[in-house]
Amino acid sequence: MSLRMDKINSEIKHKIADIIRKEVDDPHLGLVSITRVRTSSDLKESRIFFSVLDNNFSRAEKILASMKDFIRLMLGKKIRLKILPQLTFIPDDSI
């Protein structure tokens, strides 16, 4: 992976973690950690891998999937990219 893509993935990871922590107000979500981000080279899609403290991945995945448009909108306000990728949230149970 190129240095540019590493920087983009890192920036998206930090911004989405910040958005979930500060802007997403759902008491059922619990404590979510963004573990890694993989963005396609054409910037059209980002796969956001997440972990949940209580290991209730299915509930967290449903909540994040329903909030992905809001999260993407907030991400667009916090990051400058020519193309803002579509977001896909994927549970990361490797931790």
What are the tens digits of pLDDT across the range 60-69? 999 999 999 9
Query: Checking DSSP bridges between strand 32-39 and strand 45-52, what pairing results, if any?
Result: antiparallel
Can you give the pTM of this predicted structure? 0.90
Buried b (16+ CB within 10 A) or exposed e, 3-42: eeeeebbebbbebbbebbeeebeeeebeebebbebebeee
In tens, the pLDDT along 21-77 reads 999 888 888 899 999 999 999 999 999 999 998 878 889 999 999 999 999 999 999
1, 41 contact by CB (below 8 A):
no
Give the largest CA-CA distance in the chain.
Answer: 38
